[in-house]
Amino acid sequence: MTIADAPARLAAAADASLRWHPGGPYSLHQTLGVLLRGNGDPSFSLRPDGLWTAFTTADGPVTLRLAGPAGSSGGSESGACSDPGEPHIDVQAWGPGSAAALADVPALLGARDDWSAFDEAGFHATLPRMVRDARRRNPAVRLPSTGRVVDSLVPTILEQKVTVIEARRGYRYLMYRFGSPAPAAGLSAPAGLLVQPTPEQWLRIPSWEWHKAGVGPQRSATVMRALRSAVALERLAALPAADAAAKMQTIPGIGIWTAAEVVQRTHGCPDSIAVGDYHLAAYVGAALTGRRTDDAGMLALLEPWKGHRQRVVRMLGLSGFRKPTFGPRMTIQDHRGH
């Protein structure tokens, strides 16, 4: 099967399929890339024939293949494609959760994300040149809304107060030990694609397995505490992002950093800022002023663009700017879990 033949053949073999039209420039990789927990995330697979992912819906697990024209998972879906029609994303689904997953695909792909106010001429003119230039070069970015709170919350808790490398290593270990094989998608399915454990499965993980994963008792206890309220947590997807973040923080061990990181993914929140992040404030300060700053300084710098602060941060990240690195490599002192 060639890449060009993939959409029709996979659609015929899938349990369900759809074609989504973004109505403008669109990049699947830039939009969904923020959902991956590193290149080794077992719930995702980036291949020439598309981006594959697996997760659990209310109706059961699902495997999704998402691809732009010619089956690409990279940048060719940004609008400049060989297809004479509109840019589009083809989606195929396998498994009992297929119908539920496809109903949520437009939101997952960023259909609810509206950049028109950000791109309005008067507002756009207030932005730093670095941000304006990054937006001009990256018109195909959308903020995804997964609607799956637990799937975002657990790996985010694992990232509290440790390096990203440590957190992702632990997450991979737990996924390989306790994740479930993705629903079969025939011979085309990526090998080793996994579905994250359900809340019940996470709760059954013994303490020594958390230890083997390098997850300390404080973080594992936070996961356990949160998932005892898993049903209530999933209902937060229906609330506005600010309300969902506030309710999340009523669970001990979940603070402003964790809640912000979650609603950025579950709600596509254009404004949430990860206060307490070890690197973010220094990065934003260096990008906007040439000097590092703290959380209060970062919030003051971003205040003129309140309502779009996450969009500004995303554009800074896509600008190519890298802050100077110097001083001690790592001494973590933050408040992400408080």
Residue-wise pLDDT tens digits, 208-243: 999 999 999 999 999 999 999 999 999 999 999 999
- Domain contains 32: yes
Q: What is the DSSP letter of 183?
A: P
Which residues, at least 6 apart from 211, have a Cβ–Cβ distance to it below 8 Å? Answer: none
In this predicted structure, what is the pLDDT of residue 23? 93
Interhelix angle for 241-248 vs 256-266, to 10°? 140
64-87 b/e (C-beta count within 10 Å ≥ 16 → b): bbbbbbbbbbbebbbbebeeeeeb
Q: What amino acid is encoded at 147 in this protein?
A: G
Shared domain for 265 and 118, answered yes or no, is: yes
Per-residue pLDDT at 85: 59
Confidence class for position 71, pLDDT limits 50, 70, 90: low
% of the chain surpassing 90 pLDDT: 81
On whether both 210 and 227 belong to a single domain, the answer is yes
> CB pairs under 8 A, 24+ apart, for 291-299?
292/323, 298/273, 299/273, 299/275
315 and 185 in a single domain? The answer is no
Q: Is residue 1 part of a domain?
A: no
pLDDT digits (tens, 9 = 90+) for 308-317: 999 999 999 9
Helical (H) or strand (E) element with 88: none
In the predicted model, what is the mean pLDDT of the chain? Answer: 90
Measured distance CA(133)–CA(242) in Å, rounded: 29
- In angstroms, the CA 131 to CA 272 distance is 17
Segment (H or E) for 65: strand 60-67
Domain containing 71: what range?
6-113
Name the least confident of 108-112, 116-120, 325-329: 325-329
Asked whether residue 99 falls in the same domain as residue 128, the answer is no
Between 140 and 85, the more confident residue is: 140
Q: Are residues 239 and 316 in the same domain?
A: no
Residue 137 CB neighbours (<10 A): 12
Question: 243 and 118: one domain?
Answer: no
Structural domain count, the chain: 3
